[in-house]
Structure 1
Amino acid sequence: MKSFAVLLILFLLLIHEAVPKKQLKRQRSRYKKILRIVGGRLVHKNDDYLSAVSIIYRPHLKKDLIKLACGATIIHKYWSLTASHCLKPIPNRLIMSKHIFLRGNTTYWDGSSKHYQDHFIADYSLHEDYLGPQNQFDNDIALLKVKEPFTGVYEKPVCIASRSYTYIENTSAVVFGWGFTDPHKQDSNSKALKAADIRITNFSTCLKIHESINKMVSARMVCAWGHKTDSCTGDSGGPMIQNDTLIGIVSWGMECASDHWPGIYTRISEFPEWILRKIKSLSKTT
């Protein structure tokens, strides 16, 4: 199963204090390691999609080594959205430390560009009803508040889908990420941001496909196919954009770029009230 949680598990391996080894072993056994945007194209600075940022972790503060954890999307100069599964395994003290930060103003997560800007996390909120694999990654959404505002030339917020947004079958959308580019090679993350063209799948069809293997697809999810192109782990938490609007968050799926299994994304139109409520509550505390 394509779970998109594997890079965070790697993070827990490197920062060994985060999770006991026995617990970590149980987590790892649930998932296949299939991780990347497949068959996508490189994104350039003059593109309209400048809301994508990377979530980076630094295992050792005194060393230069950094790792890509997930993607996120700027929705305001202090706020971004990602997937709950990107943060759920990590203790609060590590999320709000110098070990983890968001990198924007660049299409390169690894620091290849001199123009990147890093943003540490001031506060965050996972969805209260997110239970991970226990309920098939339902409510897979999280809100991040950064200490340093997104003010770079190449850091632009995107509008979020409202309750009334209509997800039309077979219409095109674009998903962005820095995930693995080869399903058979570990550590093949793209250094540069890539985009994949996908199409929204009929929800009933997606539901039936997954019911056949006892996997739940809820009304808070949207399914999408790509022709030999798709998102996978490493792209987790990143944006699904349509009509200059954030309509989905990379969440989970059975396989990548498969003719049999669509990718599953968090349906943003189900969460505008939750997002606004959390922004209001976190604004009072930080």
Structure 2
Amino acid sequence: MFIEWIFVISSVLLASAGWISERIVGGYQVPISEVPWQAAFLLNGTADCGAVIYSDKILITAAHCIQNQNKSDISIRVGSSTWNNGGQLLQVDDAEVHEDYSFTKDVVINDIAVIRVKGHLKMGHSVQSIPLAESTPASGSSATVSGWGAVGYSQEVSEHLLQTTVNIVSQEDCQKSYGEGITKSMICAAAQGKDSCSQDSGGPLVSDGQLIGIVSFGTSCADPNYPGVYVNVAELKPWILRAIEKLSCLCAGKV
């Protein structure tokens, strides 16, 4: 999830806080056809984060993945089980980052962004959108998280797409780990030996066929005392829809 920040300016601050970026730990390889909404977020051609397909032009990711980055350095790969080849590769045209995105020494707040790509994704068996959750799943609910991040703390990223299953952790229990900075705009999930980790940031947390979370931050990887923390999609859905509408209007204005 989050402290090997992708921005140089933030990395020093985050390192002092003890966080790390999220990647899949305790996972298994899956074909992209099983998670066709998954996208790879590439910075200068290298896997840096994940993203989630909303439509043929719009994707959702974590704010910390794109904040302060040059759009020309970012590309999105979809429709491939490997981040470095296959599928479709598109450049980022524009992005909207949550205006109240910020971080403290303990938590990351409003870690959400919406991306518009140049051209259109060719939708199909391995490239599909996923609906946004209407409500927050109950504590104990099962969910899956996927990405190309590393398979453990300080380990290499995975070339092949990985997925694992975690369980939703109550806000109260999550606050015992991270403090009261954990709010209803965040959702926590954990399972023994399973977690998202570095360079999975921006990727999907899915339950019952709906996008319930976006990989955001955490302390270590699969640490039993620290669940992974995700953006709560149901809570931030109004902002997401406004951002999508804004980007869509801007796009229409170019025609």
**TM-score, length of structure 2 as denominator length:** 0.90
| Rounded Cα–Cα distance in structure 2 between residues aligned with 1:204 and 1:33 | 22
Report what 1:41 is aligned to.
28
Could you say what the CA RMSD is over the residues aligned between the two structures, in angstroms? 2.0
Report what 1:160 is aligned to.
132
Task: Name the aligned partner's letter for residue 263 of structure 1.
Answer: G
> How much has 1:45 moved relative to structure 2?
3.8
From 116, 136, 145, the equivalent of 2:87 is 116
Report what 2:78 is aligned to.
104
Give matches, 1:124-203, under 5 Å.
124-133=95-104, 136-153=107-124, 154-162=126-134, 165-185=135-155, 188-203=156-171
Report what 2:4 is aligned to.
6
> How much has 1:253 moved relative to structure 2?
1.2
Change (3 A) 1:27 1:174: closer
| Rounded Cα–Cα distance in structure 2 between residues aligned with 1:43 and 1:234 | 17
> How much has 1:184 moved relative to structure 2?
3.5
**TM-score, length of structure 1 as denominator length:** 0.81
| Rounded Cα–Cα distance in structure 2 between residues aligned with 1:152 and 1:284 | 22
Matched, 1:224 2:189: yes
Greater strand proportion:
2
Change (3 A) 1:34 1:276: closer
Q: Greater CA radius of gyration, 1 or 2?
A: 1
Identical-pair percentage: 30
| Rounded Cα–Cα distance in structure 2 between residues aligned with 1:210 and 1:25 | 20
User: Any unmatched runs of 5+ in structure 2?
Assistant: none
| Rounded Cα–Cα distance in structure 1 between residues aligned with 2:212 and 2:53 | 13
| Rounded Cα–Cα distance in structure 2 between residues aligned with 1:221 and 1:179 | 21
User: Any unmatched runs of 5+ in structure 1?
Assistant: 13-18, 59-65
| Rounded Cα–Cα distance in structure 1 between residues aligned with 2:53 and 2:36 | 8
